[in-house]
Amino acid sequence: MKLTILGILIFLLGLAGLLRNSIWTDGEKLWGDIIKKSPNKPRGYCNMGRTLGGKGKYEESIPYYEKAIEMKPIYPIVFNNLGASFSHLNRFQEAIELFDKAIKYKPGYLEVYNNLGNAYKKLKQYDKSLENYKKALDSPHSKGVTLSNMGNLFQEMKEYEKSLYYYKEAIKYNPEYLDAKYNMGISYLYLDKFDEAIEAFEAVIAHERENPRLAATAHNNYGICLIKLKREDEAIRHFEESIRLDPELTDPKLNLASLLRKKGNINDSDIILKQAEEQGLPETEALLEKALADFDAGRIKEAAQNLEIVITKDPSNIKAIKYLGYSYSHLGEHKKAIKQYLNFIAVDSTNSKVFNNLGISYFQTGRMKDAKIAFKKALEINPSNAEAHYNYGLSMKKEQRYMEALEHFETTDSIVKDQPQILFNVALMRYLLGQKKQAIEGFRLYIEKFPQDRGFKKAKAILDSLTNS
């Protein structure tokens, strides 16, 4: 009996110890307890704010920081922490004012420059962001983070090679810096360096237990790389792993559903999209994903049907508008396509491909003047748009402006080499311009390279007439 009682006593003491420890290990309870006991001391309020901020409760942290400043008006650490909470709430200008205050009263507070750099980056003030990151590099405590943030800055500016330099420097400083490795993979992905991206994502995935959420996003992006490398079956496995590690992520579900749909597995694709909708994915986004997958798989009618529904429910969905235009073009419904392209251009007039496709639809409906204007606009936006050069050449050919047509066909050939229609039209323009020698060379090259092409007979007939004359 004594043993039983002793056992009970020990157990009760253990419980008492656990209860007390829970106050000290749960920051909110700890600092709440301290604030109750010492309500006139700012330290408790400062640390309560920091604890709440660390849990992502940024709005709740603000009154505690403000109370600490009320008690201690010059409090650099609180200025910094309150600024960080404002930054998380997208109140960047207020954050910057607080970070400046922190530095004013504590000039050697180098970590604050990192936060200033982040805030200016969010405001797209990239020069000021970089200027502050450079100042933060003098802090050995946050150097790795600062180097990584500089990488993030250049990645946002689409200067991917520069971003890679800073990610690599961050990893040299801290070889286990997973965020830098992950973001390095993203930059490689943007540069279409898929093997290097995969290597970076594998380094993150190797630490799956330490950071399952980051590993989940790495699996998702690994899958995207594999799709780009035409290794779709392997990509499916990585999307599935991403979902297993973090079922709350919707991106891998959308990618998996899209890929399955492309491969003809419609039922499983619909089930995954339904799961994503149950997690809060808007119905229009699920329909859009179905439509894009159908479009990629050549199921254009099905894509158009879903895109029409998306636009009915969300008339400003710019991506749906663009792809509905593409779908109508594929289906030969050019008047409908024109309407969608013009709706898209009213919002975004910087897309060379849309202007090129608008020109094609104008061309197909006999609106030659409008077609030329659209092709010209496509080339203004992107002078290397081979399709726009070729189509503008066709427009000039139709107007019998053969020299201008030749210039655009030759430019097309310099961008995309050895395409049968381009070689044929280059030779044809030289023939129509009376450039006999160059026309003969051009038709011979075309006939030699593309004996099965549909223009072969015409090219042979013209070549025979030229060589026999």
Predicted structure pTM score:
0.70
Given a cut of 70, is residue 13 above it in pLDDT? no
Question: Could you say which DSSP state residue 264 is in?
Answer: T
**Banded model confidence at residue 345, pLDDT cuts 50, 70, 90:** very high
Amino acid at 440: I
pLDDT of residue 4: 20
Number of domains comprising the chain: 1
Interval 37-60: pLDDT, tens: 888 899 989 889 899 988 899 999
Tokens of 105: 């009263």
The answer to whether position 38 is within a domain reads yes
What does the pLDDT look like over 379-413, one tens digit per residue? 999 999 999 999 999 999 999 999 999 999 999 99
Domain boundaries, position 42: 26-103
pLDDT of residue 12: 31
Which SS3 state, helix, strand or coil, does residue 263 take? Answer: coil
Question: Which runs of consecutive H residues, i.e. helices, occur in 174-314?
Answer: 178-190, 194-205, 212-228, 232-245, 251-262, 266-278, 283-296, 300-313
**CATH of residue 87:** 1.25.40.10
22, two tokens: 């829970």
Task: Report the C-alpha gap between 238 and 216 in whole angstroms.
Answer: 9
Report the pLDDT value the prediction gives residue 26, as an integer from 0 to 100: 64
Q: Is residue 45 part of a domain?
A: yes
- SS3 label, residue 349: coil
Q: What is the average per-residue pLDDT within 14-34?
A: 54
Give the pLDDT score at 297.
84
Distances (CA, A) of 214 to 13, 147, 245, 387: 41, 19, 9, 40
The whole-angstrom separation of Cα 320 and Cα 334 is: 17
Structure tokens at 336: 């409908």
pLDDT-above-70 percentage for the chain: 94
**One-letter amino acid for residue 404 of the chain:** E
Token pair recorded at residue 143: 């150097």
Per-residue pLDDT, 293: 87
Q: Using alpha carbons only, what angle is made at residue 258 by residues 326 and 194, rounded to the nearest 5 degrees?
A: 95
Q: Of 287, 296, 288, give the one whose Cα is nearest residue 330.
A: 296
What was the pLDDT predicted at 165? 97
Q: Exposed (0-12), middle (13-18) or buried (19+): which is 437, by Cβ within 10 Å?
A: exposed
Q: Is the predicted pLDDT of residue 22 greater than 70, yes or no? A: no
Per residue in 283-342, pLDDT (tens digit) is 888 889 889 888 988 899 999 999 999 999 999 999 999 999 999 999 999 999 999 999
Q: Is residue 431 part of a domain?
A: no
Mean of pLDDT values over 351-374: 96
Residue 343, domain member (yes or no): no
Identify whether 466 is part of a domain. no
Is 51 a member of any domain? yes
Domain presence at residue 330: no
pLDDT of residue 419: 93
DSSP state of 348: -
Two tokens, residue 57? 């409760």
In a domain, 32, yes or no: yes
Terminal CA-CA length for the chain: 123
Instruction: Quote the distance between the C-alpha of residue 50 and its chain's center.
Output: 32
Work out the number of other CB atoms within 10 angstroms of the CB of residue 416.
12
At 175 the three-state DSSP class reads coil
Q: Name all contacts of 92-100 with Cβ < 8 Å and 24+ positions apart.
A: 92/119, 92/120, 92/122, 92/123, 93/123, 95/119, 96/120
Of the listed ranges 103-107, 179-183, 272-276, the one predicted with least confidence? 272-276
pLDDT at 127: 97
